């Protein structure tokens, strides 16, 4: 198993050696390596069992670092960076040649993000290279939001997990690109409304084809191992009551299923709280003696859009 701790010097030492370290961010834990070292990047793909057509997000300490990695930053992106960085927003921008093609899966753009977590900020500030970091889970599975989640799945392959506690946001970053018009490619930890407040209406392109622009757009992704169905729980349809079911509810327990087989995401009906608890809840339900997870859709605004998106992808088999 990996060592879990807060030793920044140890994390830095490993990264300088071309090794991987799991790092905390406000969204989910990342599996980080030197983004400018193709051999370190290869390790990321290997450990995650990730297909090489799936590009990685590059993490920086600040905008000045980002400017060294991309050819240009459009005005709308600059406005969003000023307002929301550090934070859960990833920008697709034209890459400079110093970023290995493996990082971007051969694409001309690179995903860049400045995460909002004090430990990871200190780590990034102490390095003279940026960190490529996908979510620290096997490809296709639910993202980790605690050091324990990372250790359970990748602990045999990662030496060190930097312990930043449970993730504050709990959903991966929102991804935005600017090729023709501002377009959101992945709903995430920053609500669409927050983005539109700064730059006006944006296009949303959550392609679910088999050849997506971002594999986070794959129809089936972010999925627990158990079968999951998104359905209304008031009442639970009689077609499910004969099966061993677990329930993922938004505000209150569903009638007809034992409470220890249910998780309520936010008794107060708060979407931020629900987002923060979502991935832990899916992991817990995945360990129960049940055959099926019934998940209730949440209100479709703010972070609710991203939560429902993750539930739909978790349901696609």
Does the protein bind ligand TXA through residue 135 (CB under 6 A)?
Answer: yes
Cβ proximity to ligand TXA: between 31 and 290 the closer is 31
Shortest CB 50 distance to Mg ion, Å: 8
Cα separation of 297 and 89, whole Å? 24
Which of residues 21, 175, 247, 275 is near ligand TXA by CB under 6 A? Answer: 175
Count CA atoms closer than 13 A to 99's CA, side-chain side: 30
Does the protein bind ligand TXA through residue 133 (CB under 6 A)?
Answer: yes
Cα separation of 149 and 155, whole Å? 9
Which one of ligand TXA, Mg ion, none interacts with residue 113, CB within 5 to 8 A by kind?
Answer: ligand TXA
The two three-digit tokens of residue 281, written as one number: 């809840």
Q: Which residue has the tokens 């392109």?
A: 205
Does the protein bind Mg ion through residue 135 (CB under 5 A)?
Answer: yes
Please provide the DSSP assignment of 75-86 as one string: HHHHHHHHHH-S
Does the protein bind Mg ion through residue 109 (CB under 5 A)?
Answer: no
Which of residues 20, 70, 110, 282 is near ligand TXA by CB under 6 A? Answer: 110
Per-residue x/- marks for ligand TXA, 17-46, CB under 6 A? Answer: --------x-xx-x----------------
Cα separation of 80 and 90, whole Å? 10
CB contact at 8 A, 45 and 100 = no
CB contact at 8 A, 137 and 225 = no
Which one of ligand TXA, Mg ion, none interacts with residue 131, CB within 5 to 8 A by kind?
Answer: none
Please provide the DSSP assignment of 50-65 as one string: --TTSPPEEE-SSHHH
Indicate the burial class of 292 (C-beta count within 10 angstroms; 0-12, 13-18, 19 or more).
middle
Does the protein bind ligand TXA through residue 101 (CB under 6 A)?
Answer: no
Does the protein bind ligand TXA through residue 144 (CB under 6 A)?
Answer: no
Cβ proximity to Mg ion: between 143 and 277 the closer is 143
Does the protein bind ligand TXA through residue 92 (CB under 6 A)?
Answer: yes
Which one of 14-22, 47-55, 102-110, 133-141 is the stretch in contact with Mg ion (CB under 5 A)?
A: 133-141
- The residues, any chain, with a CB within 8 Å of residue 197's CB and separated by 6 or more, are none
Q: Which residues bind ligand TXA (CB under 6 A)?
A: 25, 27-28, 30, 54-57, 88, 90, 92, 104, 107, 109-111, 113, 115, 133-135, 172-173, 175, 213-216
* Residues near Mg ion, by CB under 5 A: 135
């Amino acid at each position: 198993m990996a060592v879990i701790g807060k030793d920044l010097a140890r994390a830095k030492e490993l990264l300088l050696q071309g090794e991987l370290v799991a790092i905390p961010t406000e969204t989910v834990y990342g599996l980080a390596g030197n983004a400018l070292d193709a051999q370190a990047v290869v390790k990321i793909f290997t450990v995650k069992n990730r297909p090489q057509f799936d590009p990685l997000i590059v993490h920086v300490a600040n905008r000045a670092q980002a400017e060294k990695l991309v050819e240009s930053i459009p005005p709308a992106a600059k406005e969003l960076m000023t307002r929301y960085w550090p934070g859960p927003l990833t920008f697709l921008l034209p890459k400079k040649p110093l970023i290995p093609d493996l990082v971007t899966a051969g694409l001309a753009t690179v995903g860049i993000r400045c995460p909002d977590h004090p430990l990871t900020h200190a780590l990034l500030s102490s390095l003279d290279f940026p960190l490529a970091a996908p979510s620290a889970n096997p490809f296709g599975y639910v993202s980790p939001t605690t050091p324990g989640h990372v250790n359970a799945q990748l602990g045999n392959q990662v030496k060190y997990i930097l312990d930043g506690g449970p993730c504050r946001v709990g959903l991966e970053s929102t991804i935005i690109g600017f090729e023709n018009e501002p377009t959101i490619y992945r709903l995430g930890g920053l609500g669409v409304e927050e983005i539109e407040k700064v730059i006006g209406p944006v296009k949303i392109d959550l392609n679910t084809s088999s050849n997506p622009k971002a594999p986070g757009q794959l129809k089936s992704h972010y999925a627990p191992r158990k079968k999951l169905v998104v359905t209304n729980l008031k009442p639970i349809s009689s077609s499910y009551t004969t099966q061993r079911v677990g329930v993922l509810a938004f505000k209150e327990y569903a009638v007809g299923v034992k409470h220890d087989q249910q998780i309520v995401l936010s008794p107060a009906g708060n979407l931020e709280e629900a987002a923060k608890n979502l991935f832990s809840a899916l992991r817990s339900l995945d360990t129960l003696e049940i055959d099926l997870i019934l998940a209730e859709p949440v209100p479709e605004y703010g972070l609710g859009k991203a939560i429902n998106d993750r539930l739909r992808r978790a349901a696609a088999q």
